[in-house]
Amino acid sequence: MTAPTTDHYAVIGNPIEQSKSPLIHSAFAQVTGQDMDYTKLLAPLGGFAAVVDAFRASGGRGMNVTAPFKLDAFAYATDLAPSAQMAGAVNAMKFEGSKVFAENFDGVGLVRDLVHNLACPLMGRRVLILGAGGATRGALMPLLAEQPAELVIVNRTVAKAHELAALAKQHQTGQVPVQGLGYVDLQGQTFDVVLNASSSSLSAELPPLPASVFAPQCLAYDLTYGKGLTPFLQLAQQAGVTQLADGVGMLAEQAAEAFAWWRGVRPDTAAVIERLTVPLV
């Protein structure tokens, strides 16, 4: 009788030491009884394809992709899912022979965290998302599928916000109003859900956001995780917002989506989220 073969997975990035993905996927494998291992791969800038080629040649089955290689993975893939095409970026790959299947689970992970973990339904609510980069682009379709009353994208470079709003209108199946605005255009407007998908929290900066945008009972959510009370979350707290969250749940949920795609079983995320949560203080 042949012994089962351990399947190999990895996360690739630069830097990569900070990645929580091995911890998350090892926990998922344990609770679901999957025979697999999961490692970190540091690729040099410009060396993404060579590292992935070597991993595949050694029998690797799949891979998560983190910064700065999500565009490299987009170019490397042979079969792009609609989520990856819309995001213009890839965060998970699956290898089957010469085929490289690619997905982007960031947006669906964000929505699952909001709706299921944080009990924050989006239907009929006004949603504001800060930033017009890849994170926002990847989140647009999953957010719009929840049928909010309105989705507003705000960005320092207003043209980029307009561009994403036009893209969302073009691709959505419903009739949700979508606007792209500059920060100065937010005066006098309030929102039920405010999502910070900009890079501001990575450098501990405060986006030029008027505190008046937070409606009573608003949820303020920072897609960055593990940074504690970021300047964005501090602003929300000072404005009276009591429901604050960072992106740790999004991290776990997108990982669970990738795991289910690879292994055919979706792990529960509650224990992993609890383990990784840093108090927002």
Per-residue pLDDT tens over the stretch 3-48: 568 999 999 999 999 999 999 999 999 999 999 999 999 999 999 9
Residue 281 lies in a domain: no
Q: Is 91 annotated as a binding residue?
A: yes
Residues 227 and 263 in one domain: no
The larger pLDDT score, comparing residue 66 to residue 280, is at 66
Residue 132 lies in a domain: yes
Residues 239 and 116 in one domain: yes
Give the pLDDT score at 151: 97
pLDDT surpasses 70 at 143: yes
Residue range 256-269, pLDDT digits in tens: 999 999 999 999 99
Residue 2 lies in a domain: no
CA distances from 238 to 59, 212, 232, 235, 243 (A): 52, 11, 10, 5, 12
Residues 99 and 124 in one domain: no
Query: What mean pLDDT comes out for the span 214-232?
Result: 93
Residue 236 lies in a domain: yes
Domain limits for position 51: 7-104+250-276
Give the pLDDT score at 211: 95
Residues 219 and 259 in one domain: no
Q: Is 133 annotated as a binding residue?
A: yes
Query: What mean pLDDT comes out for the span 172-190?
Result: 93
Residues 69 and 24 in one domain: yes
Residues 20 and 81 in one domain: yes
Residue whose token pair is 């291992």 = 37
Mean model confidence pLDDT for the chain? 94
Residue 26 lies in a domain: yes
Give the pLDDT score at 215: 95
Query: What mean pLDDT comes out for the span 213-226?
Result: 94
pTM of the full structure: 0.93
Give the pLDDT score at 3: 53
Give the pLDDT score at 265: 97
pLDDT surpasses 90 at 205: no
3-state SS record for the chain: CCCCCCEEEEEEECCCCCCCHHHHHHHHHHHHCCCEEEEEEECCCCCHHHHHHHHHHCCEEEEEECCCCHHHHHHHCCEECHHHHHHCCCCEEEEECCEEEEECCHHHHHHHHHHHHCCCCCCCCEEEEECCCHHHHHHHHHHHHCCCCEEEEECCCHHHHHHHHHHHHHHCCCCCCEEEECHHHHCCCCEEEEEECCCHHHHCCCCCCCHHHEEEEEEEEECCCCCCCCHHHHHHHHCCCCEEEECHHHHHHHHHHHHHHHHCCCCCCHHHHHHHCCCCC
Query: What mean pLDDT comes out for the span 74-102?
Result: 96
CATH number at residue 195: 3.40.50.720
Q: Order of strands, edge to edge, in the sheet holding 60-65?
A: 36-42, 7-13, 60-65, 92-96, 99-103, 79-80
The Cα–Cα gap between 205 and 253 comes to: 26
Give the pLDDT score at 33: 96
Count the domains in the chain: 2
Task: Label residue 121 by pLDDT band (50, 70, 90).
Answer: very high
Residues 223 and 257 in one domain: no
Q: Write out the catalytic residue numbers.
A: 70
Give the pLDDT score at 4: 66
pLDDT surpasses 70 at 162: yes
Residue 1 lies in a domain: no
Query: What mean pLDDT comes out for the span 234-242?
Result: 96
Provide the token pair at 93.
């790959």
Residues 119 and 85 in one domain: no
pLDDT surpasses 90 at 118: yes
Residues 220 and 137 in one domain: yes
Q: Is 132 annotated as a binding residue?
A: yes
Q: Is 189 annotated as a binding residue?
A: no
Residues 99 and 137 in one domain: no
Task: Label residue 232 by pLDDT band (50, 70, 90).
Answer: very high
pLDDT surpasses 80 at 201: no
Total residue length of the chain: 281
Q: Is 135 annotated as a binding residue?
A: yes
Residues 165 and 258 in one domain: no
pLDDT surpasses 90 at 75: yes
Residue 174 lies in a domain: yes
Q: Is 2 annotated as a binding residue?
A: no
CATH number at residue 54: 3.40.50.10860
Residue 58 lies in a domain: yes
Give the pLDDT score at 172: 80
Residues 117 and 235 in one domain: yes
